[in-house]
Amino acid sequence: MKRHTTIPAGERARAGGRFALGDADRERLAARLQLAVKRARRSGRPTLATLTLALPAEVDPSAVVCASRRPGEPWFLFEQPERGAGALATLGQAVRLTAAGPERFATVADRWRALAAAAVSDPPDARGRSGPLAVGGFAFAPDGGADPAWAGFEPAALVVPEIALTREGHAPDSEGAALPDAAGVRLTLCALAAPDDTAEQLLARLRERLAELREEPLALLDPAPAGRYRIASAMPPEHYEAAVARAVEQIRRGELEKVVLAREVDVHAPRAHDPAAVFGVLREAFPACSVFCVGRGEASFVAASPELLVRREGHRVSTLALAGSMRRSADPAVDDHLGEQLMHSEKDREEHAIVIRRIERTLRPHALWVTATPEPALVKVANIQHLATPIRAQLAQPLDAIELLELMHPTPAVGGEPLARARPLIPALEGLDRGWYAGPVGWADATGDGEFCVALRCALLRGTMARCYAGVGVVRDSDPAAELAETEVKLQALLPLLAG
């Protein structure tokens, strides 16, 4: 995502491989590490040091990370195939920023801002960016993820990785076709220098890490897996229908406008799920989505999310109101008819309008202007279509990406309206710990820019167990059986991949 003046990749390759440091790069990195150690000793606080290198455009960041990750270490993949093929993939942990409770966004934002401001990094590029990244996510609830299945996924958890590989999304030409980014792929090395560290030790550690990088294609899912798979709802379907009915009663009594209720479905496999293989299929099958995988210990959280929560680029903010859903059909005529039904559904348009109003109301006090398209569009992904309204704003005051998350999360697309009434109702009716489901997942950089999507169409993989999640927005005219059926459609994004 950043352009830097670096030693060409070809010269490094001649010096010992695609990922090897050439003499000039090694000297630059050593100098930055020495300065970081000096600052750490002077301030008494650990200091980040980074170096960014150019790699050939054909390098697949996600494939390198999946082939090179160490057992149990944090890793992260985030791709948007149709948005210029942008990709971010990271390995390891220089720093881990965690927090819990109502102030978790502010706590993590403050710590990240302080670390980024003191970092010894490349000078800003033409877009004003340089230095380290923080990647990860947040639970839906302030103290979400207490269920042992979510171990390692704290209520707020961002990692500053040792290695980050980034591929900038291609810019469109005059006819809308993607143009290749001349900068190709970039690799950023990052170390945290403590007062008692030496530059030599840190340099040796990073060079060892580089030596472990490998280029191998992503693993493939077994097309004919052996063994028995078992799929089971955490709660009986009747429980979900009853929860929807109780929510409708409260909405009709005027206690709230909308509440989103989710289900959890478990897939028990005869052998461990392969998150790299699942990710590879998702990025092929859902190119219009943000496809991600967050690895923590022995678990991985994978998703193909259609919903952008926050994209911050300088003073510009983009988000997407996504609410109202309909299944798809393999018959184009039927598929178009279903889309027309969705566009004219009074129930779905009401649900969608609630989300737009809240987002606009949230952004206006902090913006010079907020604008939304006058009519929603249809967003069609592999198995479902949604009503979607892009919303943009120009900030009137400097708010970084994580501060914007605190304002925006959760929108009524995954929470409810009004939130104060919906928030306690959700766990009471669902009877589950959402963990990171419906929470923000993405990245932030040292300038305050960043991008986070909402964790939807997702599954938590841990050994032979996969927990899949899907929810629907309940409004006055919701029918319990129809809402249950909608969750089944949404679950089809991942269940076929996980259940053989």
Phi-psi region of 335 (alpha: psi -120 to 50; beta: other; left: phi over 0): alpha
**DSSP calls for 179-227:** PPPTT-EEEEEEEEE-TT--HHHHHHHHHHHHHT----PPPPPPSS--S
Of 154, 264, 307, 351, catalytic:
307
- How far, in Å, are 163, 171, 220, 358 from residue 464 at the CA level? 29, 41, 17, 40
Give me Rg for the CA atoms of the chain. 23
Q: Is 307 a catalytic residue?
A: yes
Taking residue 323's Cβ as centre, other Cβ atoms within 10 Å add up to 28
Q: At what angle do helices 419-430 and 237-252 cross, to 10 degrees?
A: 150
Q: Using H for helix, E for strand and C for coil, what is the string for 368-411?
A: EEEEECCCCEEEECCCEEEEEEEEEEEECCCCCHHHHHHHHCCC
**Mapping DSSP to helix (H, G, I), strand (E, B) and coil, where does residue 275 land?**
helix
Q: Which two tokens stand for residue 50?
A: 């980074």
User: CA angle 181-185-186, nearest 5°?
Assistant: 125
Q: Is 258 a catalytic residue?
A: yes
Of 154, 258, 264, 486, catalytic:
258
Beta bridge partners of residue 75, listed in sequence order: 91, 295
User: CA angle 389-353-327, nearest 5°?
Assistant: 65
Q: What is the rounded end-to-end Cα distance, in angstroms, of the chain?
A: 37
Q: Which two tokens stand for residue 265?
A: 């479905």
- Beta-carbon contacts of 467 under 8 Å, excluding residues fewer than 6 positions away, are 149, 234, 264, 265, 266, 267, 459, 460
User: CA angle 111-40-69, nearest 5°?
Assistant: 65
Q: Which two tokens stand for residue 281?
A: 């299929």
Beta bridge partners of residue 391, listed in sequence order: 319, 372
Core vs surface per residue 179-203: b (16+ CB within 10 A) or e: eebebebbbbbbbbbeeebebeebb
Query: CA–CA separation, 500 vs 487, rounded Å?
Result: 20
**Mapping DSSP to helix (H, G, I), strand (E, B) and coil, where does residue 100 land?**
coil
Query: CA–CA separation, 254 vs 473, rounded Å?
Result: 16
Which residues are marked as active site?
A: 258, 307
